Structure 1
Amino acid sequence: MQRLRNKRILLGVTGGIAAYKSAELIRILCRLDADVRVVMTKAACEFITPLTLQALSHNPVHLDLLDAKAEAGMGHIELARWADVVLVAPATADFIARLTSGQADDLLTTLCLATSAPICLAPAMNQGMWRDQTTQQNVELLKERSVRIFGPADGSQACGDVGPGRMLDPELIAQHTAEMFVHDLLSGLNVLITAGPTQEALDPVRFISNHSSGKMAYSLATAAMEAGASVKLVSGPVALETPDRVERIDVISARDMHQAVLENIEGVDIFIGCAAVCDYRPIEIQKDKIKKNPDDPSETLEIKLVKNPDIVSAVADLESRPYVIGFAAETQNVLGYAADKLRRKKLNLIVANDVSDGDIGFSSDNNEVTVLGEDFEEPMPRASKKVLSRKILKIVARRFRKWKREQNNTEGKA
């Protein structure tokens, strides 16, 4: 259950008698160190008060589709991007029907349509409503759309009936939610990821660098660990905590990172070059702080630069190379430059994103990328970097297995 630590869970509460169980569910999720935000339908407020759920979640409860307090007044979009998973408990027959038909007539259904995070439902209704053919058809349609259904349980109901339709116990719902972050996609594999910027010293107090925050790489490291991999993270200077169960190696310059990668590359199955490595460094680092001439307002300063080692190319050129994924942060002709980098550096995959958009990229919690390979191109719409990381790793895992089979077949023929 530690897998829920720091996970962003958006809990939807709809109008059923089982809404009282949502309070206990929030207590459990928060006890497991999840960050919980609650969205309630109007009907849910008839069964339990927003103030109760706000006190338990330690966050304001969201009720309205258009929220004047939200950035740009569009709370549904902000919440949709924020969530790692959307969990609706209880999910009534009415909510299931509206979600199936694609309605967006309240905050909860709207954000379910807008989010790229996984959606999970814990149904709760009368046994007759659950058994109804329409409800069963709706549930099957949602399953086909990759919506997870937790339950329902069988037993006594508030109306006096006995049968299927009871909402699962909160402990079990929390367990199922935790399992959303458990995958065997990369089980037993060794993954090495580079992260953040590098700093290239000019003198003892100044350096050349870039705006990379390391958030994308750190999200990838967390997702890889959750997918069963042993993960090492070679990180430039960033203000981020080391992900749980990830080994972090701190470096400063591009040459430091290059050395650390080559020293740790043996036995690595998958290498992800996510760091924004400075392409150039000063030829000479001044021993003392560079001083300006206060009497010469037209004074200029020339700094000669030399190329830094290309880390991702160095890994791709190794005789026993791992599966290599690069990143391309561009401001124009994004896909064109990324495709060229893919071929030129002999990468297996490349992830391209447009860093000219200030709302995504370097310092943002969100991103919007396209994953390219020799024979495919898969765009991923704007979402949190945590959500995108899991999606990227699903592609990486699938492609890695194919690449490994082809390698084994080639070696067998030799």
Structure 2
Amino acid sequence: MTARRVVITGVEVIAPGGVGSGKFWELLTDGRTATRDITFFDPSPFRSRVAAEVDLDPYAHGLTPQEVRRMDRAAQFAVVAARGAVADSGLALDALDPYRTGVTVGTAVGSTMSLDQDYRIVSNDGRLDLVDHTYADPHFYQYFVPSSFAAEVARDVGAQGPSGVVSAGCTSGLDSVGYAAELIREGTVDVVVAGATDAPISPITLACFDAIKATTPRNDDPEHASRPFDGTRNGFVLGEGAAMFVLEERESARRRGARIYAEIAGYATRSNAYHMTGLRADGAEMAEAITVALDEARMNPTEIDYINAHGSGTRQNDRHETAAFKRSLGDHAYRTPVSSIKSMVGHSLGAIGSIEIAASVLAIRNNVVPPTANLHTPDPECDLDYVPLTARDQLTDAVLTVGSGFGGFQSAMVLAQPERSMA
């Protein structure tokens, strides 16, 4: 029996610097950054006071007042992006078998913004030892359970097949799409609306990352604060956003004449079973995930044309994945362009893996490698081709995109031109 192959036929991105895949890609290829001073609340008490915020008017993107009232900001991102991806795919949802249509949504921190805001209200700004539930939002419980994200998307697109949330920290966006692809490969469903969302820019999130000094204190120059692989980097920039996709079985997509962006050729995830925030210097677990993803894709390391790196902008991560690329790709690692889009859109935690899949898919479609912004002083220990400052025109048939998350999660996905042979 021939294995079912999975392709992406619809893409939509809600990202800092522009809502929609077109504006997102324009930002990346221009090498512009979307980082600014935090505007959602007074950030003055915090060590890191910059972030990459999304400018989204939910009403302008079709959400009703009731939907806006009910949904956390991250849920709004997911639904708007899902609608955009479905429209981009050209699928007629009412013609699909709803029981053969699934939804997977990745998130790291769920409804953080709503939980933070509502806790301040029911606790009277933290003054009450016993909170007053009578002040709680009627949708407070929905904010407490991240599964509400998948439920909102499934209801919106009419999917009655498998529906769930994948939460594996900062690899959630990769793992959600990887899981969705497996649902199609195994024959459980024919179509999945999949991706990830997070809106973590809140006081509690800033406090958490301040405590471990993971985010940058470069508050006087927000535009240049995110500097992956640069010798002067000093932490990541928090972001927010979402990316959603329509995944289909390849032959079915071909029969309906769909525009196919790319094939999800291989995916794997591993754990280092080592430390909550620490990474082994040799990058062995990420290298293992890359190798397994390549094996599933039936590809040699030399076939990878571009690596979309995790590239968070912390010394530990940048050196770890540099070692992983060398370990898994061998000498070809030195000949392969690498870049980090977090330099431009920040690190949106669970959402970023899907946003990076979108960047990888668009790199394949346009044969352009996006740059690493703010890379002026390369770290000598990060000695690969990290495509500094300016986008590069290059034939890009196969892309490796990777993610690394607290808890030791390491994920890798291979995306490829859909017409390639797997013989």
Same topology, TM > 0.5: no
Relative contact order (alpha carbons < 8 A, sep ≥ 6): 1 or 2 greater? 2
Scaled to the shorter chain, the TM-score interval is under 0.3
- Normalised by the length of structure 1, the TM-score is 0.24
Which structure has the larger Rg? 1
- Normalised by the length of structure 2, the TM-score is 0.24
